[in-house]
Amino acid sequence: MDLKFKWKFNIKDLPDMGTLNQDVYNIAKDVTIGKTLFMEEHGVSSEKEYKEKMMKEKKIMKHSAIGWNSWQKQEEGIRRIYAELNESGSYIDRYGACMDWVMGVPEEYKSKLQAGSGLILKNEEEWARLGQVEPIQPHLGDHMIGSLNSLNNTILGLKAGVTTIGNISHYYTYEYPGLDMEEYRTIDMVKAIGLMAKLRDKGTIIHSNLDDGFGAQFHDLANLVGYAKLERYICEELLGARMSHCFGNLFNDPMVRIVFNSAMGKINTYHTPGTMIYGNTIDFTYNMPKNYAAVTSYAMADAIGQMICPSGHAITPIPVTEAIRIPAVDEIIDAHHTVDMAIEAAAYYKDYIDVQKIEAEADILVACGNIFFERVLNGLDDQNIDITHPGEVLAALKAIGVTQLETCFGVGKKDSEAMRGRVPVRPTSIVQEIAKQQAKIMSGISGLNKKPLSGVNVIVASTDVHEFGKEISKNVLVKAGAEVFDLGATVAVEELADTIIETESKAVLISTYNGIAYSFASEMSRKFKELNINVPVVMGGRLNEPMDGSDLPVDVADKLEAMGINVDNDIDKIISYLVGVLKLS
C-alpha cells in the first residue's frame, strides 16, 4: 500500500508509555476537581452524574456556545442569558466557553499569535470563575486538549470544576502558525488525556467534535463512524479515559442526525453520556427567516433522537446570526426559545418515527465503520506504527490525512469516477451539499467548459478549520481548467508564500470564518511584499474581526480591499475576475 506520510517529527522519539504514565501519575496527585455552582445546585460531583440522572428522567438538556473576548463581557453575558431564560420559563444546562486560539499555546508563546474574537483567560482567578457565575455547567472544547497547551489547560479546567474537556479533534486540524512544536504537542496531549483517565471515576469525559476535526473532511458516514471508533480506541482502550463524540455542524439532513446519534450509541462501549449535538450550520445564510427554519428543523430531529435513543447529548440552539458574526446575548436567548418550541413539538412526532429503520441504518454504518477501523489499524501496523502507543497512532493518522484514509481504507465500492475512488456507503451531508451547491453555481457561470483558466496554477486555502467554501471554490476552479493546489485548513502565511513560489501560482483564494480576516490579510500582505510576491488574492467567508478593543467582530472588507484584496465574496464572480485580472481573455 502506497501511503504517503507528512511527518512533522520522528514518532520513534516519543517517550515510552511507562515514562508518560509515571509523569501523569505524579501530576494527578496534585489535581483536585473543583465544585461549580451547577454541581452544588443539582447535588452532583460531575456533569456526567447529572447527565445520567437526566437520561433516567428523560429530560432533554440544552447547550450554548458562549464566548466574548474579555472575562467581564463573558460574565455579563452568562448572567443575562441565565436570568432571562429562567424568567421566561426556559432553561440552559451547560455552556461551552469559546476560547481564542491564543489559549491553545503556552504562556511564553502567546505573544506570537494575533488574538482573535474568542475568550482569553488572563489568570487563574478568571479560570476559577468559569463555573461560579451562575449554575450553568461549563464545558471546555476550543484550544484545550489537542492544542499546544493541552495539559496546563486541562489542569486549570479541572480545578475550576469542568469535568468535560476536549476538543481532541483539534489536534488534526487546528494549527498555530510559527510554532513548530508537533512532538511536544503530541506528548502534551497524551498526558492530558492520561490525566482525565486517572480521574475518570470522578466523572471526567473527553470531548471530541467530529465536525471540528478530520470528521468534517470525510465523504462517507460509514468511514466517519470507523474514525470515531479510532478516537475511542486511543482515548479509552490505550489511555483508559472515557469519551463522548459531538457532531451536527455539518449534518443538515434531520433523519441522518437521528441515525448517526444511534450509530454513535452503538460504538459507545462504556455508555458514557454525550456532550452536545451541535446545530446544523450548513443551511445558515444571511436570510434570517430561513435560519429560524433551519434551527427548528435540526432541533426537532435532535429532540426526537434523544426521546427514542437517549444518549445524554444536549441540544444546541444556534442563533440565526451564527453565519455572520459572533451572536449577541439577545440572539442566544431567542434561539433557546425557538428550540423550546421544537422540543415541545417533537413529542408529538416521535411515536410516528420508524425506529426499526433508524436502527437498521445505524447498524449498516456501524458494521461498515468496524471494517474501516480494522483496516486502518492493520494498515498502521503494517507501516511499523506501534498501535499500542497513543502518541504514535495520533501522529500517524495526522500524517496520513483523511483523503488517504478514505482512499486506502474506505469501505465504499471502488469506482474510478467517484470522489476518492469509492462510492460512499452513505454520503455525508457536506458531500451532498457541495455537490448540490456547486452544480447550481457552475450552471450559472458561462464558458466554464471552454476551460478559461487552462494552464493557470491557483492556490486555495482556509485560515481555520472551516473548509466548505474552499471546497466549492476549488471545484469551480478545476472545472474552469485551473491546476489547483489545496493547502487545506488553518494555513500558515509562510506556507502560503512558499507554495506560491514553488508552484509559480498566479492567484490565491482564501476562505476565512473565525474572525481573523484582517490580521491574517495584514500578515499575508507583509510577507508577500517581503518576498516580492505580486499575485491577485481573493478572500471570502466571514470578512470580519474585533477591532479597536471591540468585543464583537466588525466587517473589515473595506480594509482588505485597501490592501488590494478582492472582497466580492461572490463565488459566481471568481472565474470572470481571474480571467480579467490575469488578462486571459
Lowest mean pLDDT among 131-145, 184-198, 308-322, 410-424: 410-424
Q: Residue ranges of the domains in the chain?
A: 11-357, 444-581
What pLDDT sits at residue 273?
A: 99
According to DSSP, residue 133 is labeled S
Mean pLDDT of 371-391: 98
Q: How far apart are CA 576 and CA 585, in angstroms?
A: 9
Which H helix or E strand runs over 196?
A: helix 182-198
What pLDDT sits at residue 549?
A: 67
Find out whether 161 and 36 touch, Cβ atoms under 8 Å.
Answer: yes
Cell of 494: 509562510
Tell me the pairing of strands 544-545 and 554-555.
antiparallel
What pLDDT sits at residue 185?
A: 99
Q: How far apart are CA 223 and CA 403, in angstroms?
A: 11
Q: Which architecture, in CATH terms, is 444-581?
A: 3-Layer(aba) Sandwich (3.40)
Please tell me the pTM assigned to this model. Answer: 0.85
Using DSSP, state whether 462 is helix, strand or coil: strand
CATH superfamily of 11-357: Methylmalonyl-CoA mutase (3.20.20.240)
Q: How far apart are CA 37 and CA 365, in angstroms?
A: 40
Find out whether 168 and 131 touch, Cβ atoms under 8 Å.
Answer: no
Q: Which residues contact 474 (CB under 8 A, 6 or more apart)?
A: 460, 484, 486
**% of residues, the chain, pLDDT over 70:** 99
Q: Average per-residue pLDDT in the chain?
A: 95
Q: What's 198-238 look like in SS3?
A: HCHHHCCEEEEEHHHCHHHHCCEHHHHHHHHHHHHHHHHHH
**% of residues, the chain, pLDDT over 90:** 83
* Amino acid found at 476: V
Find out whether 139 and 98 touch, Cβ atoms under 8 Å.
Answer: no
Q: How far apart are CA 541 and CA 209, in angstroms?
A: 22
Cell of 261: 446519534
Q: How far apart are CA 453 and CA 472, in angstroms?
A: 16
Residue 550 has pLDDT above 70, yes or no: no
Model confidence at 488, pLDDT cuts 50, 70, 90, reads confident
Q: How far apart are CA 493 and CA 154, in angstroms?
A: 29
What pLDDT sits at residue 175?
A: 87
Identify which of 535, 518, 525, 419 has the alpha carbon closest to the alpha carbon of residue 478. Answer: 419
- Integer distance in angstroms from the first to the last C-alpha of the chain? 44
What pLDDT sits at residue 102?
A: 95
Mean pLDDT of 462-468: 79
Find out whether 241 and 206 touch, Cβ atoms under 8 Å.
Answer: yes
Read out DSSP for 478-500?
A: HHTT-EEEE--SS--HHHHHHHH
What pLDDT sits at residue 159?
A: 98
pLDDT digits (tens, 9 = 90+) for 324-364: 888 999 999 999 999 999 999 999 999 999 999 999 999 99
Q: How far apart are CA 262 and CA 256, in angstroms?
A: 10
For residue 45, how many C-alpha atoms fall within 13 Å in the half-sphere facing its CB? 8
Cell of 443: 450552471
pLDDT digits (tens, 9 = 90+) for 505-515: 999 999 998 78
What pLDDT sits at residue 551?
A: 61
Q: Report whether the peptide linkage leading into residue 167 is cis, meaning its omega lies within 30 degrees of zero.
A: yes
Model confidence at 323, pLDDT cuts 50, 70, 90, reads confident
What pLDDT sits at residue 582?
A: 96
pLDDT digits (tens, 9 = 90+) for 304-315: 999 999 999 999
Model confidence at 178, pLDDT cuts 50, 70, 90, reads confident
Residue 548 has pLDDT above 80, yes or no: no
Mean pLDDT of 14-39: 98
Mean pLDDT of 51-67: 97
* Amino acid found at 434: I
For residue 455, how many C-alpha atoms fall within 13 Å in the half-sphere facing its CB? 3
CA-CA-CA-CA torsion sign (161, 237, 98, 149):
positive
Mean pLDDT of 69-96: 97
Q: What's 3-25 look like in SS3?
A: CCCCCCCCHHHCCCHHHHHHHHH
Number of H helices, E strands in the chain: 21, 16
CA-CA-CA-CA torsion sign (241, 183, 103, 527):
negative
Angle subtended by helix axes 254-266 and 221-232, to nearest 10: 40
pLDDT digits (tens, 9 = 90+) for 423-445: 999 999 988 887 888 888 898 89
pLDDT digits (tens, 9 = 90+) for 217-239: 899 999 999 999 999 999 999 99
* Amino acid found at 220: D
Q: How far apart are CA 295 and CA 301, in angstroms?
A: 10
Q: What's 40-53 look like in SS3?
A: HHHCCCCHHHHHHH
Using DSSP, state whether 460 is helix, strand or coil: strand
Rounded (5°) CA angle 524-500-542? 45
How many whole angstroms from its chain centre is CA 65? 13
Q: Starting at the edge strand that comes first in sequence, how are the strands of the sheet with 137-140 ordered?
A: 63-66, 94-97, 137-140, 164-165, 205-209, 243-246
According to DSSP, residue 566 is labeled B
Residue 139 has pLDDT above 80, yes or no: yes
